[in-house]
A and B are shown apart, each in its own frame.
Chain A
């Protein structure tokens, strides 16, 4: 049956006017309801030296105390520690994962410091890619562990970026959204801070490091993003302790010479960081991770595996072939595993059989032994019985003999007395 499908091309899309209220303006609400019922994922990577204030800043940002022990300086290498938390605000559930670089900058030779970080980020992309390439997949249920934002903590030297910072940021800029921040900013004076910031930004630009650009294409957020971008990198101070200021308690750090208030915009850029990271651009960060960084990784990985998008005919072929190959490989593996399991099973059965046989033999032996012992004992008992009988017989004989003698003696005695009596008479 021939089927013809008439479809207008995209340019002919007409804008229809509605003559009444249809009601699809509730669509964004429907979408949002779905998302809130499922919850959100957000993953932050904190890169910085030990003791620079990463954990404190996270605590301050999310207004809570995440359990963690401060790291030591004796780590042999950089390792990443990821921890997940569930936060709930009104009806929004956020699954927050904070990844910490433990031991960053502590080694004497820091050549390979960036490697574990890059490997971790790639591993998360890889996990997602694997899930996406699966035949039977469940992407809507998948716990997204890809890093959405990387906060790079710059040490407040006041001079410029360290070479370790430059190298690490350069390696990370194509894989993750980097937001550089100056940590422990209360150690820098205001005039020095301005110079420091411009020095850092010019160094980043001259070295070609692509940090995260706050989106300016949407009118509602363009303005605020543009004004905030000027203050990059944000100079932040973190604190979980509260100090009484005026008649309110506020998060601050108390020094003998004054109190540094965390949420005071004159003192530090913490509020700006919170605005940018959470209140304005969280969704954009996630989208950039998915549509830019992940796609780049996927493209590179698939090209590495040998795929090409050459012409329309071979497109499905190459992926199909590789799918077939993968499938064969997978089935081959399954087969191998099955064989292994079968062999192991057979071996185990044999072992068990041998064991049981041994046990059986032992039992038989025991039984034999017991039987023999029993027989021996029986024989002994019989012997003893015989002996006893013999003794009894002897005794009886002796008794009989004795009795006979006695009767004989009696008789002879009686005869003697009788004879005596006769003699007397």
Chain B
């Protein structure tokens, strides 16, 4: 296990237990130098971040990714051209880049899902995506249970999934709800209202409220999840964010001259929509959430919660999970193995309890 992937020192709760008396130090010892040591180690190792964008074609996913990371991750696909007939199958397409800022290296992997929700019959279109996510967890698990492990297990698990909601202005569609319900349990999902420039500010707010209401009605827990708030400051910060979810975003990768400054934006006949302007759209909020303030938190929750859930599930009942490509076929215990009736009965009971609570 990599000590860097989670907070380095697994310590128990904040309040000191009765057996560990707090001691007064009479002078400077230098313990806080450990923070610098941590930073140096982190800088040397670099970071990894894996993000997945899900949404129908034409919602501006590729443009959004380019705008987020201010680079040409991939060419934004013009709708209809160059694709030929619509692909009959949902294809996941990953691209990995290393970006560097101020000496810090970030290995960024973006996974796109072209073809999602584009068919006439979209039944079970989330299965390949779930399969992909679970496959990454599986890879990590396999590495983790090796006898001779690598020093740093490469982390390909999806840390964040951005879900693009089309700007209908009404409420979440059944496809959205189905997808979000399934995915929220496996990965951190951040829903965004795509192409928000087609909605006025008032329409945006109404749409947002309705979406929030939908999410609550269907018990969909998007990131930042309420149950993982650690303390008061976290709660306050996160409730502000939760109030604005889903963010209404606009993506753009062209620069225009506005008031003498060069800004990213979309130029239309009736004006220029500035991406970084908070009055125009909430792209800045999304970027801050994903990159500047909650990146480590996204990784931590993926590792400590979603991966652990997957692991528990996997080690208990291997046949319950959807299969993705390259699935290692672990045969469950063959029925011919003689088991005394006692344990198997208890096992059945545990199985039932487990399926109930799951």
Output the least CB separation between B251 and chain A (Å): 14
Which chain A residue shows the least CB distance to B108? A16
Which chain A residue shows the least CB distance to B111? A5
- Residues of A within 8 A of B (CB-CB), count: 105
Output the least CB separation between A202 and chain B (Å): 31
- Contact between B11 and A143 (Cβ–Cβ < 8 Å)? yes
Which chain A residue shows the least CB distance to B128? A3
- Contact between B288 and A23 (Cβ–Cβ < 8 Å)? yes
Task: Note all chain B residues with C-beta closer than 8 A to A189.
Answer: none
Which chain A residue shows the least CB distance to B31? A89
With A90-B32, A283-B38 given, is the CB distance from A139 to B6 under 8 Å? Answer: yes
Task: Note all chain A residues with C-beta closer than 8 A to B97.
Answer: 13-16
Chain A, 1-47, CB within 8 A of any chain B CB: 1-8, 13-41
The CA-CA distance from A417 to B120 in the complex, in Å, is 154
Chain B, 34-74, CB within 8 A of any chain A CB: 34-35, 37-44, 47, 49, 68-73
Of B22, B92, B147, B339, most A-chain CB atoms within 10 Å: B147
Contact of A299 with B by CB under 8 A: yes
The CA-CA distance from A28 to B297 in the complex, in Å, is 12
With A1-B90, A27-B42 given, is the CB distance from A13 to B98 under 8 Å? Answer: yes
The CA-CA distance from A1 to B121 in the complex, in Å, is 12
B71-101 vs A, CB cutoff 8 Å, 1 = contact: the mask equals: 1110000000000000001111111111111
With A3-B91, A5-B325, A303-B147 given, is the CB distance from A24 to B47 under 8 Å? Answer: yes
Of A27, A282, A287, most B-chain CB atoms within 10 Å: A27
With A4-B92, A5-B92 given, is the CB distance from A136 to B312 under 8 Å? Answer: yes
- Contact between A307 and B10 (Cβ–Cβ < 8 Å)? no
- Contact between B25 and A62 (Cβ–Cβ < 8 Å)? yes
Contact of B291 with A by CB under 8 A: yes
The CA-CA distance from A35 to B125 in the complex, in Å, is 39
Contact of B148 with A by CB under 8 A: yes
Of B70, B311, B339, most A-chain CB atoms within 10 Å: B70
- Contact between B292 and A40 (Cβ–Cβ < 8 Å)? no
Q: Which of B1, B7, B125, B330 contacts A38 (CB 8 A)?
A: B7
- Contact between A87 and B23 (Cβ–Cβ < 8 Å)? yes
- Contact between A315 and B142 (Cβ–Cβ < 8 Å)? yes
The CA-CA distance from A27 to B48 in the complex, in Å, is 11
Output the least CB separation between B272 and chain A (Å): 17
Contact of A120 with B by CB under 8 A: no
Contact of B261 with A by CB under 8 A: no
- Contact between B7 and A15 (Cβ–Cβ < 8 Å)? no
Which chain A residue shows the least CB distance to B11? A39
Contact of A64 with B by CB under 8 A: yes
Chain A, 247-267, CB within 8 A of any chain B CB: none
Task: Note all chain B residues with C-beta closer than 8 A to A282.
Answer: 31, 33-34, 37
Task: Note all chain B residues with C-beta closer than 8 A to A338.
Answer: 346
- Contact between B102 and A25 (Cβ–Cβ < 8 Å)? yes
- Contact between A331 and B343 (Cβ–Cβ < 8 Å)? yes
The CA-CA distance from A144 to B131 in the complex, in Å, is 34
Q: Which of B37, B90, B230, B287 contacts A284 (CB 8 A)?
A: B37
Task: Note all chain A residues with C-beta closer than 8 A to B26.
Answer: 63-64
B321-351 vs A, CB cutoff 8 Å, 1 = contact: the mask equals: 0001100101001000001101101110010
Q: Which of A32, A290, A315, A317 contacts B35 (CB 8 A)?
A: A32
Task: Note all chain B residues with C-beta closer than 8 A to A141.
Answer: 10, 12-13
Contact of A72 with B by CB under 8 A: no
Contact of B20 with A by CB under 8 A: yes
- Contact between A143 and B10 (Cβ–Cβ < 8 Å)? yes
Task: Note all chain A residues with C-beta closer than 8 A to B23.
Answer: 62, 64-66, 85-87
- Contact between A316 and B142 (Cβ–Cβ < 8 Å)? yes
Which chain B residue shows the least CB distance to A284? B37
Output the least CB separation between B327 and chain A (Å): 11
- Contact between B10 and A41 (Cβ–Cβ < 8 Å)? yes
Task: Note all chain B residues with C-beta closer than 8 A to A383.
Answer: none
With A40-B9, A331-B347 given, is the CB distance from A89 to B37 under 8 Å? Answer: no
Contact of A208 with B by CB under 8 A: no
- Contact between A24 and B101 (Cβ–Cβ < 8 Å)? yes
With A3-B91, A4-B91, A89-B28 given, is the CB distance from A16 to B7 under 8 Å? Answer: no
- Contact between A1 and B38 (Cβ–Cβ < 8 Å)? no
The CA-CA distance from A8 to B37 in the complex, in Å, is 33
- Contact between A31 and B42 (Cβ–Cβ < 8 Å)? yes
Q: Which of B73, B125, B300, B346 contacts A34 (CB 8 A)?
A: B300
Contact of B258 with A by CB under 8 A: no
Task: Note all chain B residues with C-beta closer than 8 A to A28.
Answer: 38-39, 42-43, 104
Contact of B24 with A by CB under 8 A: yes
- Contact between A30 and B296 (Cβ–Cβ < 8 Å)? yes
The CA-CA distance from A93 to B13 in the complex, in Å, is 11
Q: Which of B73, B294, B318, B333 contacts A16 (CB 8 A)?
A: B73
Output the least CB separation between B151 and chain A (Å): 5
- Contact between A140 and B12 (Cβ–Cβ < 8 Å)? no
The CA-CA distance from A21 to B104 in the complex, in Å, is 13
- Contact between A280 and B10 (Cβ–Cβ < 8 Å)? no
A162-194 vs B, CB cutoff 8 Å, 1 = contact: the mask equals: 000000000000000000000000000000000
Q: Which of A27, A89, A320, A335 contacts B25 (CB 8 A)?
A: A89
Q: Which of B142, B291, B330 contacts A23 (CB 8 A)?
A: B291
Contact of A279 with B by CB under 8 A: yes
Of B95, B106, B146, B315, most A-chain CB atoms within 10 Å: B315
Contact of B132 with A by CB under 8 A: yes
Contact of A363 with B by CB under 8 A: no
Contact of B182 with A by CB under 8 A: no
Contact of A278 with B by CB under 8 A: yes
A273-309 vs B, CB cutoff 8 Å, 1 = contact: the mask equals: 0110011111110110011000100110011000111
- Contact between A3 and B131 (Cβ–Cβ < 8 Å)? yes
The CA-CA distance from A37 to B25 in the complex, in Å, is 20
Output the least CB separation between A25 and chain B (Å): 4
Which chain B residue shows the least CB distance to A9? B96
Contact of A68 with B by CB under 8 A: no
Output the least CB separation between B317 and chain A (Å): 11
Contact of B145 with A by CB under 8 A: yes
With A86-B16, A140-B304, A323-B315 given, is the CB distance from A24 to B291 under 8 Å? Answer: yes
Q: Which 8 A-B pairs have the closest CB atoms?
A: A283-B37, A30-B296, A3-B128, A279-B30, A39-B11, A84-B20, A23-B292, A279-B33
- A–B pairs, 12, beta carbons within 8 Å: A1-B90, A1-B128, A5-B94, A19-B71, A39-B11, A40-B9, A89-B31, A142-B10, A282-B33, A283-B37, A295-B149, A315-B146
